[in-house]
């Protein structure tokens, strides 16, 4: 799964106003050729959207759950077919649950402490968040002492 994210690094983030709105966006995203889709839990009924997508999309589409704020929500997403979990911050309970299910966890990290805590919890990939605020200077500064 991480290999596909690396090879097809574009991820479409879906924040629908309703399940129908999200599904319409997803149909257009897939038609446009994007293979990595993250359905955020700000979308009403996100777990149903994920389940529908998991059941009807071809195997080349990787479905993730975003804006996951706790382990309970992560478990709901995983049980409905999410193949990776994204959160706006690092959460040790989510990391532990994802490790248990062998599902990649991509936490948003806004500090060196969050990044190192995530790495200690066996997180493979972190998302610098909020990227537009922290910017490339932050990424370059952190990459020196934490090259992985």
The residues assigned a catalytic role are 38, 127
Q: Is the peptide bond before 130 cis (omega within 30 degrees of 0)?
A: yes
Q: Is the dihedral of CA 88, 148, 38, 47 positive or negative?
A: negative
Element (H, E) at 86: strand 84-87
Say if CB 106 and CB 9 are below 8 A apart.
Answer: no
Instruction: Show the tokens assigned to 10.
Output: 């574009």
- Which two three-digit tokens encode residue 3? 């290999």
């Amino acid at each position: 799964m991480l290999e596909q994210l690396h090879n097809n690094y574009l991820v479409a983030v879906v924040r629908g106003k309703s399940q129908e709105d999200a599904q319409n966006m997803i149909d257009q995203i897939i038609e446009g050729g994007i293979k990595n889709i993250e359905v955020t839990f700000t979308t009403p009924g996100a777990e149903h959207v994920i389940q529908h997508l998991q059941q009807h999309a071809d195997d080349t589409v990787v479905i993730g759950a975003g804006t996951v704020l706790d382990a309970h929500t992560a478990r709901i997403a995983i049980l409905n077919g999410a193949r990776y979990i994204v959160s706006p911050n690092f959460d040790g309970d989510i990391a532990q649950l994802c490790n248990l299910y062998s599902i990649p966890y991509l936490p948003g990290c806004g500090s060196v402490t969050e990044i190192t805590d995530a790495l200690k919890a066996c997180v493979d990939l972190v998302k610098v968040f909020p990227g537009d605020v922290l910017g490339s200077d932050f990424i370059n500064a952190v990459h020196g002492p934490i090259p992985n």
